[in-house]
Structure 1
Amino acid sequence: MKTTVKALVVGGGAVGTSIAYHLAKAGWDDVMLLERDELTSGSTWHAAGLLPLFNMSFATTHIHDYSVKFYKTLEEETGLNAGFAVVGNLRMAQTDERMDEYMLYASTAETVGVPFEFLTPDEVGERWPLIRTEDLKGALYHATDGYINPADVTMAMAKGARQRGVEIVRKWQADGFHWNGTAWEVTCTKMVEKGGNLVPSDEQVVITAEHVVTASGNHAQRTAQMLGIKIPAIPVEHQFIVMDQDPALVSWRVEGNAEHPVIRDADAQSYVREERGGWILGVYEKDAPARFEYGVPDAFRADLFPLALDRIEEQYMAMIHRIPTCEESGLKDDFNGPICYTPDGNPLVGPAPRMKNMWLAEGFSFGITAAGGTGYYLAQMMVEGEAEIDMASLDPRRYGDWMTTEYAARKNEECYDHVYILHHPDEERPACRPLKTAPSYDRMKARGAQFGCVNGWERPNYFGPLDAPDSFDHDARSFRRGGWWDYAKAEAEAVRGAAGLIDATAFTKHKLRGPGAEAFLDWFTTNRLPKVGRINLTYALTAAGTTRTEYTIVRLAEDTFYLVSAGAWQAYDSDYLAQAINDNVDRFGPMWLDDCTGQHGVFAIAGPKSRDVLQELVRDAEPSTVLSNKRFPWLSARRLELKMCPVNAIRVAYTGELGWELHHPMEMQNYLFDQLMDAGEKHGLKLVGARAQNWLRQEKSYRAFGTELGRDATPLEAGLDRFVDLSKDFHGKDAMVAKGIRSKCVTVLIDGPADADPWGREALVVDGQKVGRLTSGGYSVAFGKQIGMGYVRPDLAEVGTKLKVRMFRELFDAEVVEDSPYDPSNATIRVDG
Structure 2
Amino acid sequence: MKTHVRALVVGGGAVGNGIAYHLAKAGWDTMLLERDELTSGSTWHAAGLLPLFNMGYATTHIHKYSVDFYKTLEAETGLNAGFAVVGNLRMAQTDARMDEYMLYSSVAETADVYHEFLTPAQIKERWPLVRIEDLKGALFHPQDGYINPADVTQAMAKGARQHGAEIVRRAQVDSYQWTGSEWIVRGQMMVEKGGMLVASEEAFEIRAEHVVTATGNHAQRTARLLGLKIPAIPVEHQYIVTEPDPMLAAWRKAGNPEHPVLRDADAKWYVREERGGWILGPYERNAPARFLYDVPESFRADLFPLDLERIEEEYMSMIHRIPSSETVGLKDDFNGPICYTPDGNPLVGPAPGLRNMWLAEGFSFGITAAGGTGHYLAQLMTEGEAEIDMASLDPKRYGSWMTTEYAARKNEECYEHVFVLHHPDEEREACRPLRTAPVYDRQKALGAQFGQVNGWERPNYYGPLDAPSSFDHDARSFRRGAWWDYAKAEAEALRETAGLIDATAFTKHLLRGPGATAFLDRFTCNKLPAIGRINLTYALTATGTTRTEYTIVRLSENEYYLVSAGAWTAYDADYLKKSAEDFIASGGGYLDIHDVTTQWGVFALAGPNSRAILNELVRDAAPETVLSNKRFPWLTMRNIELGMCPVRAIRVAYTGELGWELHHPIEMSAYLWDQLQAAGAKHGMKLVGARAQNWLRQEKSYRAFGTELGRDATPLEAGLDRFVDLSKDFHGKQAMLDTGIRSKCVTLLIDGPADCDPWGKEALLHDGAKIGRLTSGGWSVAFGKQIGMGYVRPDLAVTGQKLKVRMMRQLWDAEVVEDSPFDPANARIRKDG
Amino acid at match of 1:260: H
1:476 positional shift: 2.5
Amino acid at match of 2:512: R
1:789 aligned onto 2:789: yes
1:804 aligned onto 2:804: yes
Partner deviation per Cα, 1:507-534 (whole Å, 9 max, x = no partner): 0000000000000000000000000000
Partner deviation per Cα, 1:693-742 (whole Å, 9 max, x = no partner): 00000000000000000000000000000000011000000100000000
Q: Secondary structure of the equivalent of 1:683?
A: coil
Partner of 2:318: 319
Q: Tell me if structure 2 keeps the 8 A contact 1:177–1:187.
A: yes
Map 1:147-162 onto structure 2 (within 5 A).
147-162=146-161
Q: Tell me if structure 2 keeps the 8 A contact 1:473–1:484.
A: no
Partner deviation per Cα, 1:40-60 (whole Å, 9 max, x = no partner): 000000000000101110000
Q: Tell me if structure 1 keeps the 8 A contact 2:449–2:473.
A: no
Q: State the alpha-carbon separation in 2 of the partners of residues 469 and 290 from structure 1.
A: 38
1:202 positional shift: 2.2
Q: Tell me if structure 2 keeps the 8 A contact 1:54–1:106.
A: no
Q: State the alpha-carbon separation in 1 of the partners of residues 767 and 413 from structure 2.
A: 43
1:185 positional shift: 0.4
Q: State the alpha-carbon separation in 2 of the partners of residues 345 and 663 from structure 1.
A: 34
Partner of 2:687: 687
Q: State the alpha-carbon separation in 2 of the partners of residues 411 and 240 from structure 1.
A: 22
Q: State the alpha-carbon separation in 2 of the partners of residues 420 and 441 from structure 1.
A: 31
Partner deviation per Cα, 1:20-39 (whole Å, 9 max, x = no partner): 000011111x1100000000
Partner of 1:48: 47
Map 1:335-484 onto structure 2 (within 5 A).
335-467=334-466, 475-484=474-483
Q: State the alpha-carbon separation in 1 of the partners of residues 824 and 312 from structure 2.
A: 60
Partner deviation per Cα, 1:90-136 (whole Å, 9 max, x = no partner): 01000000000111111100100001111111111111110000000
Partner of 1:290: 289
Q: State the alpha-carbon separation in 1 of the partners of residues 791 and 470 from structure 2.
A: 37
Q: Tell me if structure 1 keeps the 8 A contact 2:188–2:199.
A: yes
Partner of 2:509: 510
Q: State the alpha-carbon separation in 2 of the partners of residues 712 and 332 from structure 1.
A: 49
Partner deviation per Cα, 1:260-281 (whole Å, 9 max, x = no partner): 1110000000000011111100
Amino acid at match of 1:480: R
Map 1:541-560 onto structure 2 (within 5 A).
541-560=540-559
1:474 positional shift: 5.3
Q: Tell me if structure 1 keeps the 8 A contact 2:303–2:335.
A: yes
Partner deviation per Cα, 1:522-566 (whole Å, 9 max, x = no partner): 000000000000000000000010000000000000010000000
Partner of 2:582: 583
Q: Tell me if structure 1 keeps the 8 A contact 2:501–2:687.
A: yes
Q: Secondary structure of the equivalent of 1:33?
A: strand
Q: State the alpha-carbon separation in 2 of the partners of residues 147 and 319 from structure 1.
A: 19
Partner of 1:196: 195
Q: State the alpha-carbon separation in 2 of the partners of residues 365 and 344 from structure 1.
A: 11
Q: State the alpha-carbon separation in 2 of the partners of residues 698 and 332 from structure 1.
A: 56
RMSD: 0.9
1:635 aligned onto 2:635: yes
Partner of 2:817: 817
Q: Tell me if structure 2 keeps the 8 A contact 1:34–1:173.
A: yes
Amino acid at match of 2:693: Q
Partner deviation per Cα, 1:41-92 (whole Å, 9 max, x = no partner): 0000000000010111000000000000000000000000000000111010
Partner of 1:23: 23
1:472 positional shift: 6.3
Q: State the alpha-carbon separation in 2 of the partners of residues 130 and 562 from structure 1.
A: 65
1:750 aligned onto 2:772: no
Q: State the alpha-carbon separation in 2 of the partners of residues 470 and 322 from structure 1.
A: 35
Q: State the alpha-carbon separation in 1 of the partners of residues 195 and 472 from structure 2.
A: 52
Unaligned runs of 5+ in 2: none
Q: Secondary structure of the equivalent of 2:510?
A: strand
Q: State the alpha-carbon separation in 1 of the partners of residues 730 and 443 from structure 2.
A: 42
Partner deviation per Cα, 1:463-519 (whole Å, 9 max, x = no partner): 001145999665321110111000000000011000000000000000000000000
Partner of 1:526: 525
Q: Secondary structure of the equivalent of 2:597?
A: coil
Q: State the alpha-carbon separation in 2 of the partners of residues 831 and 794 from structure 1.
A: 34
Partner of 2:230: 231
Q: State the alpha-carbon separation in 2 of the partners of residues 657 and 691 from structure 1.
A: 16
C-alpha distance 218-678 of structure 1, shift in aligned 2 (>3 A): same
Partner of 1:274: 273
1:767 positional shift: 1.6
Q: Tell me if structure 2 keeps the 8 A contact 1:448–1:468.
A: no
Q: State the alpha-carbon separation in 1 of the partners of residues 807 and 591 from structure 2.
A: 50
Q: State the alpha-carbon separation in 1 of the partners of residues 814 and 228 from structure 2.
A: 47
Q: Tell me if structure 1 keeps the 8 A contact 2:83–2:148.
A: yes
Partner of 1:645: 645
Partner deviation per Cα, 1:651-683 (whole Å, 9 max, x = no partner): 000000000000000000000000000000010
Q: State the alpha-carbon separation in 1 of the partners of residues 92 and 109 from structure 2.
A: 20
Partner deviation per Cα, 1:578-616 (whole Å, 9 max, x = no partner): 000011114321001000000000000000000000000
Partner of 1:105: 104
TM-score using structure 2 length: 0.99
Partner of 1:499: 498
Partner of 2:259: 260
Q: State the alpha-carbon separation in 2 of the partners of residues 473 and 705 from structure 1.
A: 31
Partner deviation per Cα, 1:625-645 (whole Å, 9 max, x = no partner): 110000000000000100100
Aligned residues: 832
Q: State the alpha-carbon separation in 2 of the partners of residues 491 and 201 from structure 1.
A: 67
Q: Secondary structure of the equivalent of 1:827?
A: coil
1:94 aligned onto 2:98: no
Amino acid at match of 2:126: R
Amino acid at match of 1:186: V
Map 1:694-705 onto structure 2 (within 5 A).
694-705=694-705
Q: Secondary structure of the equivalent of 1:114?
A: coil
1:664 aligned onto 2:651: no
Unaligned runs of 5+ in 1: none
Q: State the alpha-carbon separation in 2 of the partners of residues 151 and 583 from structure 1.
A: 43
1:216 positional shift: 0.1
Counting aligned pairs with the same residue, the percent is 78
Q: Secondary structure of the equivalent of 1:564?
A: strand
Q: Secondary structure of the equivalent of 1:671?
A: helix
Q: State the alpha-carbon separation in 2 of the partners of residues 475 and 289 from structure 1.
A: 25
Q: State the alpha-carbon separation in 1 of the partners of residues 251 and 188 from structure 2.
A: 53
Q: State the alpha-carbon separation in 2 of the partners of residues 291 and 184 from structure 1.
A: 30
Partner of 1:738: 738
Segment drifting more, 585-594 vs 64-73: 585-594
Q: Tell me if structure 2 keeps the 8 A contact 1:757–1:786.
A: yes
Q: Tell me if structure 2 keeps the 8 A contact 1:237–1:337.
A: yes
Q: Tell me if structure 2 keeps the 8 A contact 1:462–1:488.
A: yes
Q: Tell me if structure 1 keeps the 8 A contact 2:463–2:473.
A: no
Amino acid at match of 2:767: D
C-alpha distance 279-805 of structure 1, shift in aligned 2 (>3 A): same
Amino acid at match of 1:152: D
Partner deviation per Cα, 1:210-247 (whole Å, 9 max, x = no partner): 00000000000000000001000000000100111111
Amino acid at match of 1:716: L
Partner of 1:674: 674
Q: Secondary structure of the equivalent of 2:252?
A: helix
C-alpha distance 533-380 of structure 1, shift in aligned 2 (>3 A): same
Map 1:126-141 onto structure 2 (within 5 A).
126-141=125-140
Q: Tell me if structure 2 keeps the 8 A contact 1:57–1:108.
A: yes
Q: Tell me if structure 2 keeps the 8 A contact 1:450–1:473.
A: no
Q: State the alpha-carbon separation in 2 of the partners of residues 624 and 121 from structure 1.
A: 69
Q: State the alpha-carbon separation in 2 of the partners of residues 109 and 474 from structure 1.
A: 30
